[in-house]
Amino acid sequence: MSSRKPKKKIYKTTIMFIIFDIIAICCFVMMYGPWSYVRNLYVTTAMKTMHHQYFANIFYSDKAIEKIMSQNYFVKLEEDVDTDAININTKEKAKYKDKYEEELLTRENPDDLYKIINLKVGSSNGYLVAIYAPDKVRLISTKQFNVGGKGERILTMCDRYKGVVCINGGGFQDTGYGSDIPMGAVIQNGEITWGKSEADTARDDIIGITKEGKLKLMTNATANEALQANIYDAMVFGPFLIVNGKPLNIVGDPWGQAPRVAIAQRQDGVIMFLVVDGENYINGASLQDMIDILQRYGAYNAANLDGGQSSSLTVEGKLYNNPPPAAKKQGGRYVVTGWGLIP
């Protein structure tokens, strides 16, 4: 009896190896070919995510990565927000500056608290939420901050705070499965709820909101300095994307494309939540994309929030956006803080 494999099986095996060879060649050409954009996007996106930096080392040496990163950076905005420039009046207008302002401010019912605008960023879906009651935007957080916990989904937090629309907020000590330990100080209802022992010494970029609903961004500030500046709720993250109407100066594409989240405010007081979907390392939004969208809709101040797997937008008790698969499977990633419209 013949021991030879059937011709059909050999044919399938050959085709499979040919496909693998083609994929390998395509990867090689993309990573070492003439297209610097592909290299920059791959490396900057991988290096921004702590647990996936090893992806960059698959194709490039440390020296090559360092060179790519040095060509892609942003110049941090160093000034604090002037809240006196924000005059809260979120009513509809008789005349609009452009179609984007009209789209943002017009609503079906004058008493509506928010409006969602669906948009596109490349091939990714984006969601811009206009909030017409800025004084009702508050920080939300996990039940308690403690070592060994894993945080909560924004869905759970938002429900517990009886929120209508919520997004995720600041970073946390990432164990890969979530954490209850925020990165930087947390202020809620005018009190320091995390970082009290370092309230006069630890300096960070603070994203805060005053009691009357003005977004206050402070660079290199302590928690106590934030309280003295009348900040009522706050957390730490960044970078600041727009400060007093001035956008972040970006060279190249320092953080690549990814799912992203931002909070912003117009001079008329309307607060905006911006969330963009995407698969890590494939698509999503760049920092410049976020700035462009927010400026289009009149943002005067804006800050980047935690993105990637953490990206969450919940509306009326449901997850509204489409986060990366691992997070979507569990109804959103477990995080420690967020921002919510709390009627």
pLDDT per residue, tens digit, the chain (343 aa), is 444 555 555 555 555 545 544 444 444 444 444 445 555 555 555 545 544 554 455 555 666 656 666 677 889 999 999 999 999 999 999 999 999 999 999 999 999 999 999 999 999 999 999 999 999 999 999 988 876 678 899 999 999 999 999 999 999 987 655 567 899 999 999 999 999 999 999 999 999 999 999 999 999 999 999 999 999 999 999 999 999 999 999 998 888 899 999 999 999 999 999 999 998 667 899 999 999 999 999 999 999 999 999 999 999 999 999 998 888 888 899 999 999 999 9
Residues 274 and 128 sit within 8 Å (Cβ to Cβ): yes
User: Quick one: pLDDT at residue 32?
Assistant: 47
Could you give the CA distance from residue 124 to residue 311 in angstroms, rounded to a whole number? Answer: 13
Tokens standing for 98? 């452009």
225: burial class by Cβ within 10 Å (0-12, 13-18, 19+)? middle
Could you give the CA distance from residue 53 to residue 46 in angstroms, rounded to a whole number? Answer: 5
Q: In 3-state terms, what secondary structure has residue 232?
A: strand
* Strand-by-strand arrangement of the 165-168 sheet: 137-141, 337-341, 165-168, 313-315, 318-319
Could you give the CA distance from residue 337 to residue 275 in angstroms, rounded to a whole number? Answer: 16
User: Quick one: pLDDT at residue 173?
Assistant: 82
C-alpha torsion 198→335→206→254, nearest 10: 120
Q: What separation in angstroms does the CA of 288 have from each of 44, 193, 236, 338?
A: 14, 33, 21, 23
User: Quick one: pLDDT at residue 67?
Assistant: 62
Tokens standing for 70? 């040095």
In this prediction the pTM is 0.83
Closest CA to 303 of 269, 329, 265, 277: 265
Residues 307 and 238 sit within 8 Å (Cβ to Cβ): no
User: Quick one: pLDDT at residue 2?
Assistant: 47
Residues 233 and 201 sit within 8 Å (Cβ to Cβ): no
Q: How far apart are the first and last CA of the chain?
A: 80
User: Quick one: pLDDT at residue 21?
Assistant: 43
Residues 73 and 252 sit within 8 Å (Cβ to Cβ): yes
User: Quick one: pLDDT at residue 146?
Assistant: 73
User: 239 preceded by cis ω (within 30°)?
Assistant: yes
Please state the length of the chain: 343
